[in-house]
Structure 1
């Protein structure tokens, strides 16, 4: 299967919202720094992906108990779970005019990743900025998915192929309502 945008209105995949606050000065500064020396959208997208994947630790891997959810907070505090890191990457892409949205996989809970549409391409590509560790090797690839984890249908796991223009309300509610990572209860299903 391929990612399916929930709308054909690309402006929705460039919009700012409460979580994907790409008009925030820190997001804009970070995007501008990542743009230096990059010749086009492909190189920028790859750099933004690497930046979020590699320089912002996944809080479960690092032991950081703070819960972030807004892109600017993820960049400032340099921590986040998969959903927060997906918000940060989406904001960095949108800050440079690259349509990007949010995708989900269902394991025991929903896992967050992104999809982007680069100029000249007709197909959205999913990317997973979660962060690598032993057994996880997510890569930037437009034609072959290199996500953190493949789903195992025999265990009831599912890929959800819809590209959402905004974060799921249930995910935002969980992230905003958690005092720390120990109190975080992510949804297990799409609404």
Structure 2
């Protein structure tokens, strides 16, 4: 589980503001599952999805997501991972490939998390932020994610990565505004994703 607890420039959980917020959330709870649920709910509800709320800047590293209180799904998953790792709870990154308009091409990745709960194992959660038609919850052992794959070309990746995909980080770091990123959302084919997963597992 060590790799699911690591610090890096994107999941910068040792940043003072991350540690402060992680401790504040955890202080009212006793078990890893309760802490994980509280962190999930806080990121889902208190950090605004940039697309839903038309907010800039584009954020990537966890401390910036916390600072600006906004981020796309990927960035929110980075913050949730940082808060959980700061509380010594293993957490990884998961992705779906979804149709942007719900009809087919073009596609983009959607990012969320998997948290390791001692009595359950890996449990996927989506702190993207709820709105009409989206109702993601923390109800283990049942998963309740924001989206399900429905049309050809969409994909449900089962991999749990210990760090965000490079294509996601590059997209977030190379675009400064909401409109720029919306025109260049990260995508990867199932075949390419499997090659990445195979390479990381070696």
SS at match of 2:157: strand
Give runs of aligned pairs for residues 87-102 of structure 1, distance below 5 A: 87-102=78-93
Quote the offset at 1:144 in angstroms: 1.3
Show structure 2 runs of 5+ residues with no match: 99-106, 197-202
In structure 2, the partner of 1:168 is 165
The CA RMSD measured in Å over matched residues stands at: 1.0
> Partners in 2 of 1:14 and 1:127 — Cα distance?
17
Bigger mean CA offset, 75-84 vs 34-43: 34-43
In the alignment, is residue 112 of structure 1 matched against residue 111 of structure 2?
yes
In structure 1, the partner of 2:130 is 132
In structure 2, the partner of 1:83 is 74
Cα contact 2:7–2:13 (8 A) shared by 1 = yes
How many residues are aligned here?
A: 180
In structure 2, the partner of 1:68 is 59
In structure 1, the partner of 2:154 is 157
> Partners in 2 of 1:113 and 1:141 — Cα distance?
15
Quote the offset at 1:120 in angstroms: 3.1
In the alignment, is residue 142 of structure 1 matched against residue 140 of structure 2?
yes
Q: Select 2:180's aligned residue among 164, 169, 183.
A: 183
Query: Alpha-carbon deviations, 1:81-112, whole Å to 9, x = none?
Result: 00000000011111111000000000120000
Show structure 1 runs of 5+ residues with no match: 1-9
Runs (4 or more) in structure 1 with deviation over 2 Å come to: none
Tell me the TM-score normalized by structure 2.
0.86
Structure in which a larger fraction of residues adopt strand? 2
> Partners in 2 of 1:118 and 1:125 — Cα distance?
7
